[in-house]
């Protein structure tokens, strides 16, 4: 069964985000057409869908933030943590991901108070196809001029650390979570924060393999069959460039389809005269 879901569009103070596959709270997506049209994703799935998938268009810098892991979220009684990944869909943007020098929790609080936190974060110039894996605890921010696809746990637990003194859409300063985030941050410095992967055409390239999700890239100029064995109950397919088909169902850049409870192989193909790039992800 292939489901097309009605996306939940959210205007934000910094741009917009489109929740294309979501089983989260009031922003749960509903089936847009077909025999089960109108049903929510969780109703069709039978329980809470484990992943949340968005397309984000950042016209301005997002807040600098961090997410708790599952253990800390459970300890605080706030549901799930939030491990996520980004696939960049345009050239010329940049991201802040990870620490470039070691700091302590006390250093962190001082840097925030002195408006100097950006000074210790690694800045990454980005191009189409760049991938960043963001385990819970890693400080990060999407910056203005960046368009990307985000795959994450079904959680909206975000600790906002710094927001450039902006006002929200309601005209009030947005809440910061300085104390709450102290215990959530991973204070280690890593040699690289970018996920490198080999370029390939008409093959599956796994870019993230994590207990929460496994994500692959397909760069296609011809049709390929994707075996569903070992992929669990679902395969989410996101079009991140061009246009094509998922088992004959049309899809174009910025859209997603959900293959649910299907044992037969899935055919991914470009539209005539096009090449297409898909992300696929599953538990």
- Active-site positions read 160
Q: Report d(CA 220, CA 244) in Å as an integer.
A: 9
Check: CB of residue 151 under 8 Å from CB of residue 51: yes
Tokens representing residue 75 in the block: 């300890």
**CA-based end-to-end distance of the chain:** 17
Q: Bridge partners of 250?
A: 245
Handedness of CA 3, 23, 283, 150 (dihedral sign): positive
Measured CA to CA, the distance from residue 141 to residue 97 in angstroms comes to: 7
Residue 238, C-beta contacts closer than 8 angstroms, at least 6 positions apart: 20, 53, 55, 87, 149, 151, 255, 256, 278, 279, 280, 281
């Amino acid at each position: 069964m292939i489901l097309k879901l009605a996306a939940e569009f959210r205007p934000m103070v910094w741009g917009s985000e489109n929740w294309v596959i979501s089983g989260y709270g009031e922003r749960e997506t509903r089936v847009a057409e077909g025999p089960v049209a109108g049903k929510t994703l969780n109703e069709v799935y039978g329980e809470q869908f484990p992943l949340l998938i968005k397309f984000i268009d950042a016209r301005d810098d997002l807040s600098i933030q961090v997410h708790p892991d599952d253990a800390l979220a459970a300890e605080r009684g706030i549901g799930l943590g939030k491990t996520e990944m980004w696939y960049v869909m345009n050239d010329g943007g940049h991201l802040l991901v990870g620490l470039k020098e070691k700091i302590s929790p006390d250093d962190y609080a001082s840097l925030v108070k002195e408006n100097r936190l950006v000074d210790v974060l690694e800045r990454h110039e980005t191009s189409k196809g760049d991938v960043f894996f963001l385990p819970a605890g890693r400080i990060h921010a999407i910056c203005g001029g960046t368009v990307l696809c985000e795959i994450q746990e079904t959680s909206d637990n975000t600790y906002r650390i710094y927001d450039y003194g902006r006002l929200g859409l309601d005209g009030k300063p947005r809440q910061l979570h300085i104390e709450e985030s102290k215990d959530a941050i991973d204070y280690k410095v890593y040699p690289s924060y970018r996920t490198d992967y080999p370029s390939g055409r008409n093959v599956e390239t796994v870019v993230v393999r994590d207990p929460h999700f496994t994500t692959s890239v397909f760069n296609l100029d011809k049709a390929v069959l994707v075996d569903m064995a070992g992929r669990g109950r679902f395969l989410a397919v996101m079009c991140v460039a061009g246009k094509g088909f998922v088992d004959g169902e049309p899809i174009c850049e910025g859209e997603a389809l959900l293959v649910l409870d299907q044992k037969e192989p899935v055919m991914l193909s470009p539209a005539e005269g096009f090449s297409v790039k898909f992300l696929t992800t599953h538990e």
